[in-house]
Amino acid sequence: MESLEITQPIRPRPDGKPVQAVQLPEPGEYGFVEQPQQDPCIPFPPQPIMLSEEAAKALSEELRERKIQFLTHFTRVENLASIMTHGLLPRSRLVAEGRARSIRFNEPYLPGAWQDAISFNISFPNYRLFYNLQEQRGVEWVVLLLDASLLLSQPFYYFLFPAANLVQVPSFPIEFAPYLQSVEMFRSLFSDTDNVRRAYLQIPDNYPTHPQSEVLTFSPIPQSSILEVHFYNTYKFSQWFLQNTPVALTIDKNIWVESLEYFSPRIDYPHWKSTFR
């Protein structure tokens, strides 16, 4: 094990601080078949809106000013070898390519075709959800940090709170979908609310106000966008490395990090213990 760590060192996180357009698949593409909804109240995801040049410039400025450098995505450790080989892919594409059986999916909380979306959190995981998942016995997790510039290259939906309830509103495609893909909506993720004052809670500029906010995309995410992979501890990484050596040796060794930082609550956790919104 010692020799393993010499060849594939894990970078501990210094001081616990963070490191410094695509369309929905067409019917039939990647096996993606638009089928009638089982529940007519759940609208099919509307066509994503590509950022205009002006909007991309404005969003880029927001990322720069807030020093937002990465998105986070947690997944079961069994999925990591596939992700490091093929990137993050929509569920329908995994099914079409015959690789879905090797992927461990979480219980779907999004309805219908929305299960094809890939979910991210900005700068820090949704620790309320992640904590519950970590409580599952026999399941190990890793946290991926991905380049925040993804937000500039493909459409995303920005949700103040978990998306599941809002996307089921029948008027979602017309009344909500366009705004939820806008720079204005992105900015609102970082606004004060009636119950929350960011300065009082000392929420970092690069953290959304609500810890359960999320961003969704239906686009494939290339492996090259992954900046870091966080393991709970050195033992967990060593165990995965030994089981996936051919894949692990093709990856830059500096991508592996052993850190509890993203397996823990946010700095403002005490407030959210008693206040949901």
The pLDDT, as a whole number, for residue 211 is: 93
Cβ 168 vs Cβ 42: under 8 Å: yes
Phi, psi torsion values for 242, nearest 5 degrees: -65, -30
Give the residue-averaged pLDDT of 71-77. Answer: 95
pLDDT confidence of residue 247:
94
List the structure tokens of 122.
């900005």
Mean pLDDT of the chain: 81
Q: Note the pTM of the prediction, 2 decimals.
A: 0.81
Here the tokens at position 19 are 């490191």
Q: What is the pLDDT of residues 116-129, one digit of tens each?
A: 889 999 999 999 88
Alpha helices (H) in the chain, listed in sequence order: 2-7, 53-66, 80-86, 91-96, 127-134, 150-153, 177-180, 183-188, 198-201, 234-243, 245-248, 269-272
Please report the pLDDT score of residue 219 as a whole number. Answer: 92
* Report for 2-11, 27-36, 198-207: range of highest mean pLDDT: 198-207
Residues 111-168: tens digit of each pLDDT: 666 778 899 999 999 998 898 888 888 889 999 999 999 999 999 999 998 887 788 7
Per-residue pLDDT reduced to its tens digit, 169-207: 878 888 888 999 999 999 999 999 988 999 999 999 999
